């Protein structure tokens, strides 16, 4: 059975840790202190860069995610889906979005 994992290394190549993933990652973006990942199973996940733990529960997009991008101001996450739709997810508290 294939297993997916996320491994963390320092700039000097020192192994810092890993996290086993349930989904198959299709795209990821490192932004600030977070890793934003999309999966072929249709989940958008945000993980802490240093601990690799989930920052929030994964968001279900219902279709495979093909690409992810974060805006320059870190205010929105742009998610491209398999059917060609572009989903824009606001980042922050509801009042800020």
Place of tokens 């101001």: 73
Confidence grade of residue 95 (pLDDT, cut at 50, 70, 90): low
Q: How many CB atoms lie within 10 A of CB 82?
A: 13
Distance CA 28, CA 46 (A): 10
Q: Which domains does the chain have, with CATH numbers?
A: 5-90 (2.40.10.360)
Condensed to tens digits (0 to 9), the pLDDT of residues 29-76 reads 999 899 999 999 999 999 999 999 999 999 999 999 999 999 998 899
Condensed to tens digits (0 to 9), the pLDDT of residues 2-42 reads 689 999 999 999 999 999 999 999 999 999 899 999 999 99
């Amino acid at each position: 059975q294939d297993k997916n994992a996320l491994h963390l290394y320092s700039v000097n190549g020192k192994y810092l840790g890993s996290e086993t993933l349930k989904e198959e990652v299709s795209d990821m973006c490192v932004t600030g202190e977070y890793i934003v990942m999309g999966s072929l199973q249709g989940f958008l996940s945000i993980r802490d860069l240093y601990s690799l733990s989930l920052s929030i529960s994964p968001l279900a997009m219902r279709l495979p995610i093909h690409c992810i991008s974060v805006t320059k101001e870190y205010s929105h996450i742009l998610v491209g889906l398999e059917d060609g739709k572009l989903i824009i997810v606001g980042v922050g508290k509801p009042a800020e979005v």
